Amino acid sequence: MAQKNILHMLTPHKHVSPFDVNMALDAGYDAVVPYEAVTLEEVADLVQDVIFSRPPHWGASSGVFFGGDDAVLALDMIEAAKNALVPPFGTNIFADPAGSFTTAAAMVACVEKVLKEKKARALKDVRIAIFGATGVVGYCAAVIAALEGAEVTLVGHSGVARVKARADEMKQRFGVDVASVNGATDEEKKAVLEGADVVLAAAKAGVRVLTAALLQEAGGKLLAAADVNAVPPSGIEGIDVFDNGKEIAGTSALGVGALAIGNVKYQTESGLFKRMIEAPEPLALDFRDAFALARTLAP
């Protein structure tokens, strides 16, 4: 009897994401089963219910996926799931809360490619300022870039305290040092741009964080700017959603737009589901795995 590939999709919210359900089924899962309003404390019991229902050599045919919209909670859920495994019983484990792990991976991978091909620079030692840094996408992008050796600054829009708390959490969990500043006013944003080589905009959908005038005032120093917001107005004025390394008018910075990033994000999420389906042994995947795949997909 050939075992089915079954994905158990857990979310702390009222609904799992239809986007993720479609992605998983289109990638080849035979069944995707939603579990809603799941708490961190419930993860271990659910995971053990998954693993003990099948013989150990079927472990890679089961998967547990965490959604939601909180990167830290999703990382905690991954850890709780890993700790609940009872070898040789296992299951694949993956999280992509609000698409953030794969979106952030795609954004950083696209920027890395543009920097490498058009500016002869790597992520290492590049100064990257991230707007929307208290959000899930901003969080993951910051950690991915910092782990690659970039000098990352989290930019807040309502004081420095909340971005500083995020920076402290990243240090504790991943051992990365990232700076934090406030970037609410144009003056503060200007100062951020003057100290950055790259800006990433990961703010709320439909919120413009940087105008063309601010980018132009930053002069010719900025190497690249990426924007994940696909809902008009764009997060960074002057970047079209399809841009992938096109110079932003009035600057020498190269723009990367939301749909260029979205294309890599889509392939990354799908690719990680496929990888779990095809894996001979169970895998545990987070945004670092997403980045490793995304950088092979960035056009």
Ligand X SMILES: NC(=O)c1ccc[n+]([C@@H]2O[C@H](COP(=O)([O-])OP(=O)(O)OC[C@H]3O[C@@H](n4cnc5c(N)ncnc54)[C@H](OP(=O)(O)O)[C@@H]3O)[C@@H](O)[C@H]2O)c1
- In the complex with ligand X, the residue whose CB is nearer, 60 or 154, is 154
Q: Which residue is nearest to ligand X (CB)?
A: 135
- In the complex with ligand X, the residue whose CB is nearer, 74 or 123, is 74
Q: How far is the CB of 86 from ligand X (least distance, A)?
A: 34
Structure tokens that stand for 31 in this block: 């069944």
- Alpha carbons within 13 A on the beta-carbon side of 236: 33
- In the complex with ligand X, the residue whose CB is nearer, 52 or 242, is 242
d(CA 238, CA 246): 10
Letters for 239-258 (x = contact with ligand X by CB under 6 A, - = none) are -------------------x
- 3-class state of residue 118 by DSSP: helix
Q: Which stretch binds ligand X (CB under 6 A): 38-46, 126-134, 211-219, 269-277?
A: 126-134
Is there binding between residue 103 and ligand X (CB under 6 A)? yes
d(CA 295, CA 289): 10
d(CA 290, CA 100): 10
Letters for 131-170 (x = contact with ligand X by CB under 6 A, - = none) are -xxxxxxx------------------xx------------
- 3-class state of residue 226 by DSSP: strand
- In the complex with ligand X, the residue whose CB is nearer, 50 or 78, is 78
One residue of 12, 34, 63, 99 binding ligand X per CB under 6 A:
99
Structure tokens that stand for 119 in this block: 């500016």
d(CA 215, CA 93): 41
- DSSP states along 171-227: HHHH----EEEE--SHHHHHHHHHT-SEEEE-PSTT---B-HHHHHHTTT---EEEE
Q: How far is the CB of 181 from ligand X (least distance, A)?
A: 13
Q: How far is the CB of 61 from ligand X (least distance, A)?
A: 29
Instruction: Give every CB contact of residue 9 below 8 A, 6+ residues apart in sequence.
Output: 16, 20, 21, 24, 32, 33, 34, 35, 65, 67
CB atoms within 10 A of CB 278: 11
Letters for 191-230 (x = contact with ligand X by CB under 6 A, - = none) are -----------xxxx-x-x------------------xxx
- In the complex with ligand X, the residue whose CB is nearer, 51 or 202, is 202
Q: Which stretch binds ligand X (CB under 6 A): 92-100, 110-118, 216-224, 277-285?
A: 92-100
Is there binding between residue 185 and ligand X (CB under 6 A)? no
Where does this chain bind ligand X (CB under 6 A)?
A: 69, 98-100, 103, 132-138, 157-158, 202-205, 207, 209, 228-230, 258, 261-262, 265
